[in-house]
């Protein structure tokens, strides 16, 4: 037994992995190194990565300019507390984010993970109304099939029926859930979904602080793609009924859908926006919550006049340096052409699967493809078949999906889609 066998046995019996048991029913796969879109396993075999580490490694792994920036920062100041102190990486990153995001988002709160970014967004929204002596506006509204994180406040705005947190329904804060947006990016909708949302707002506006929504693509809640006009009307309704709009761009920001930020498809600006995942190009954890000056001024003019939140690793300089380099690499790349290339390939190679018996729908937008199956028990088999064909994907429930790095090589993309098609087709029989 080599050391990897021993280590993987220890891992299986002692280390919790996402959404798993101890001991885990299926052992984790040992990884030795990564480069570009290639994952090298413990046995030296290689996989093409179809997940870009949960959609974060948009340039692939070990991107040279990002790694260089991190090495330089590591030599000078890997970390310093942000309470009472500041540093150039945080300032430069804030400047770049403000320049890129839709105005008037110009206030930034740095955190260390996407879930915490949403927690801070919720706290901002609630404190906004508390600061105006309207503490009764303390509920949120969202849509079904959404996902916003696994921490306590974020669980309460994930889908209460089809999400991953039903066990906590009795102890979570009760919020309002409108029907999920009708699926289809370019559908001619009858607005039944937006009318249902309006009805809730008309009845509950006195209690509502904010609406939170993933723009255009509902990620972990089902990879559901919806029309930009729905999001545009959401913005209008929030204004009409005097509630804030929080847009969760953690999974969609920095180009994944074909726009730099998904809310650009609807040409809207939220009151609060969350960023994460892709912020550092998947090299180290960092997230951020942005707000307008209206939000920050109201909070700071209220009582107690501060936003009482301060993560230990807030604005970590190593992570900020990685994020600065990531943004530079993205903007200096042909990211839009790459997204179109991937989208075109997915449409050509994967979309025809929708004709197969056992497949409910195939959805494509930008560098996102999702195959929705009729059954929800084929994920492990499909994953194993993909592994046998040299590809890493991680299906969940009825979904088989892929969000590769933007710069995945054409031959790697071709191998990825061939393996997905083979895995799905074989296991549907």
Q: Which residues are catalytic?
A: 19, 147, 248, 277
* 211 and 244 Cβ atoms separated by less than 8 Å: yes
Alpha-carbon distance 256 to 265, whole Å? 12
- The counts of H helices and E strands in the chain are 13, 16
> Bridge partners of 401?
370
Count CB neighbours of 35 within 10 A: 12
For residue 81, give every residue at least 6 positions away whose Cβ sits within 8 Å of its Cβ, in sequence order, or none.
Answer: 312
For residue 206, give every residue at least 6 positions away whose Cβ sits within 8 Å of its Cβ, in sequence order, or none.
Answer: 136, 137
At residue 204, the 3 state secondary structure works out as: helix
Count CB neighbours of 75 within 10 A: 8
Q: Which long-range contacts (CB under 8 A, 24 or more apart) does 21-26 make?
A: 26/380
* 172 and 152 Cβ atoms separated by less than 8 Å: yes
Q: Which of 280, 275, 271, 244 has the alpha carbon at shortest distance from 262? A: 275
N residues, the chain: 429
At residue 221, the 3 state secondary structure works out as: coil
């Amino acid at each position: 037994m080599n050391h990897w066998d021993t280590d993987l046995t220890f891992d299986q019996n002692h280390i919790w992995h996402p959404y798993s048991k101890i001991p885990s029913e299926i052992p984790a796969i040992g990884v030795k190194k990564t480069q570009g879109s290639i994952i090298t396993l413990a046995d030296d075999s290689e996989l093409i990565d179809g997940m870009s580490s949960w959609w974060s490694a948009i340039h692939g792994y070990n991107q040279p300019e990002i790694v260089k920036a991190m090495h330089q920062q590591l030599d000078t100041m890997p970390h310093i507390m942000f309470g009472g102190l500041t540093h150039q990486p945080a300032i430069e990153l804030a400047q770049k984010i403000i320049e890129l995001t839709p105005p008037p988002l110009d206030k930034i709160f740095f955190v260390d993970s996407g879930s915490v970014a949403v927690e801070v967004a919720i706290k901002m929204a609630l404190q906004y109304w508390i600061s105006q002596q309207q503490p009764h506006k303390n509920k949120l509204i969202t849509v079904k099939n959404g996902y916003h994180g696994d921490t306590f406040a974020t669980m309460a705005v994930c889908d209460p029926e089809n999400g991953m947190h039903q066990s906590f329904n009795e102890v979570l804060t009760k919020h309002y859930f409108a029907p999920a947006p009708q699926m289809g990016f370019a559908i001619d909708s009858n607005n039944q979904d937006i009318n249902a949302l309006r009805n809730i707002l008309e009845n509950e506006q006195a209690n509502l602080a904010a609406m939170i929504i993933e723009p255009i693509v509902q990620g972990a809640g089902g990879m559901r793609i919806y029309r930009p006009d729905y999001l545009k009307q959401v913005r209008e309704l929030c204004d009409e009924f005097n509630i804030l709009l929080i847009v969760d761009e953690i999974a969609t920001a920095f180009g994944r859908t074909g726009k730099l930020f998904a809310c650009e498809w609807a040409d809207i600006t939220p009151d609060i926006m969350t960023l994460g995942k892709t912020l550092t190009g998947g090299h180290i954890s960092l997230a951020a919550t942005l707000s307008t000056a209206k939000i920050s001024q109201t909070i700071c003019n209220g009582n107690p006049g501060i936003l009482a939140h301060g993560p230990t690793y807030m604005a970590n300089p190593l992570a900020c340096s990685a994020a600065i380099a990531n943004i530079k690499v993205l903007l200096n790349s042909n990211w839009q052409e790459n997204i179109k290339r991937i989208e075109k390939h997915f449409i050509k190679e994967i979309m025809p699967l929708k004709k197969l018996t056992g497949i409910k729908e195939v959805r494509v937008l930008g560098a996102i493809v999702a195959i929705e199956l009729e059954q929800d028990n084929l994920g492990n088999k499909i994953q194993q078949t993909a592994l046998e064909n040299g590809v890493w994907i991680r299906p969940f429930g009825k979904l088989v999906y892929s969000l590769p790095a933007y710069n995945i090589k054409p031959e790697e993309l071709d191998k990825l889609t061939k393996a997905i098609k083979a895995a799905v087709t074989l296991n549907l029989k």
